[in-house]
Structure formats: C-alpha cells, structure tokens
Amino acid sequence: MEIDLQTFTLIHYLVFFITGIFAGFIDSIAGGGGIITVPVLLSFGIPPHMALGTNKLQSSFGSFTAAFNYQRKGLVSFSDIKIAILFTSIGAFTGAVTIQFLSAGFLTKIIPIFLIVIFFYTIFSPNLGGEPRAPLIEKNIFYIVAGLVMGFYDGFFGPGTGSFWVIGIVMLIGLDLKKATAFTKFTNFTSNFVALIFFIIGGEVLFLVGICMGTGQIIGAFVGSKLVILKSTSFVRYFFIFVVGVTLIKLIFSSYF
C-alpha cells in the first residue's frame, strides 16, 4: 500500500523524532519501546504492515546503540550469546515471513490484544534481578527455545519483546537485571535486523520516517543504557506502565470505536 509522505509536516517528523528518543530510552532500560512507537505510527494513518516494518528500522538504531554501549562497558560479550543470536535469527526469519501473509485488517484488531496482555504482564511482573542466582535450566537450552520463540514474536509483531527477554533471563538463567538487560539488546538487534530485511523486500518500510525516529532512538538508547550502567532502573517501570496505558487506550479506541 502506498502512502503519501507529503502529508507529513515538520511537526509530524518532530513527533516521530521525540517518540524515538522516549522509546530508545525506555527500551534500553526495560524493553518495550515498540509499545510506544507502533501506536504512534498507526495513529498517523500508516498501515499496520508498514508501521511494523518502519518500527523495525527505527528500533534497530536504538538496539544497536544500547548493545554497543553495554558491550563497551563489559556487561556482555558476543561469545556468551552467540547461540541465542543464531536461534533468534531463525525465529525472526519465520515470524517476518509469516506476517507478510496476514491482512492489515487482522493486524489492526489483534495488535491491541497483544498490547493488553503485555500491559497487564508488566504491571504484575515481580521485581526480580537484584542479585545473580542459580539458573533453573541449562542456559543453552534456554537460548535455543527462547531465541526461536522470542525471535518469531519479534519478527511477527515485536512490542514488548525486550521485557519478555529480560524477565525470562532473570527468572530462568539467574542473571542480574543489568546483565539481563545488556543481553537482551543483542537479541533485540538481531531479530529487528533480520525482520527488517524481509519488510524491506516486501516494500513495507518508510525510510524517511524510520531514520527520523532512529536518530531519536540513538539519543534515547545512549542515555538509557548509561543510566543502567550507573544507577538503579526501578523508577523507569512506573513511567513505562503509564506510557503503555495511555497509548493502549488510544489504540483501542482508534481500532474498535
């Protein structure tokens, strides 16, 4: 579906840029930046497939920036996560291909349902990750299963993937919250980039919008990842829930009423 970029004014691009900053900040700390960016893209009349494709472009900027910052500070190394990256790539490939065959109408109705689940999951998720603890399952088994499942979900839909990764790593692998967050940025970037390739092939990416938001993502992700390295992240959870709630209400009314 074609969309006329001339309908977007300087104010629209300013909103895209600011949205990218907020999303990059939140996503680099707690995951879930897509819960902000996808509703904003949809609210400007961008079709669902194209909104998801453009979201992959802009979020790739933020996830790469955060991953680079965490790796530079020694919170994670590539050798520790290569299995997770491999199977995340496979899952993301499958999810990105699957979503190309779904109708825009179906996505418009189902996206709020996903967001509702993620919203209440975030509210009631326990505050884990204060200290490292013994893993509940062998880490490579977790990396294979979670990589396939989370990669598929991120390639198929995306918002909230980072939050699910962090909670899963903390609960099942026993990493502390900082290391889990750093780990997640590498898998997020992997699934974002793999899915992005297929959205580009399908012509479902608005490059100017995505790059504008991506520039904001770089700023937000850099600041957010620095905050994780230096300070506690508990305060971000409340801000995150508030933003999710507001955008969810707006999207539900625009989709169903």
What is the tens place of the pLDDT at every residue in 66-77? 988 888 887 877
Q: What is the pLDDT of residues 95-123, one digit of tens each?
A: 888 877 766 566 667 767 776 776 776 67
Question: How far is 94 from 149, CA to CA, in rounded Å?
Answer: 10
Is 256 in a helix, a strand, or coil?
helix
Alpha helix (H) residue ranges in the chain: 10-30, 34-43, 48-72, 78-99, 104-124, 139-156, 161-168, 177-201, 207-230, 234-256
Paired tokens of 6? 């001339």
Q: What is the pLDDT of residues 243-256, one digit of tens each?
A: 667 666 766 776 66
Residue with tokens 């998801």: 52
Question: How far is 193 from 184, CA to CA, in rounded Å?
Answer: 14
Question: How far is 158 from 164, CA to CA, in rounded Å?
Answer: 11
Query: Model-level pTM?
Result: 0.78
Q: What integer best gives the mean pLDDT of the chain?
A: 81
Question: How far is 39 from 48, CA to CA, in rounded Å?
Answer: 10
**Of 33, 48, 40, 163, the residue nearest 99 (C-alpha):** 48
Question: How far is 28 from 185, CA to CA, in rounded Å?
Answer: 7
Q: Place 214 in a pLDDT band, splitting at 50, 70 and 90.
A: very high
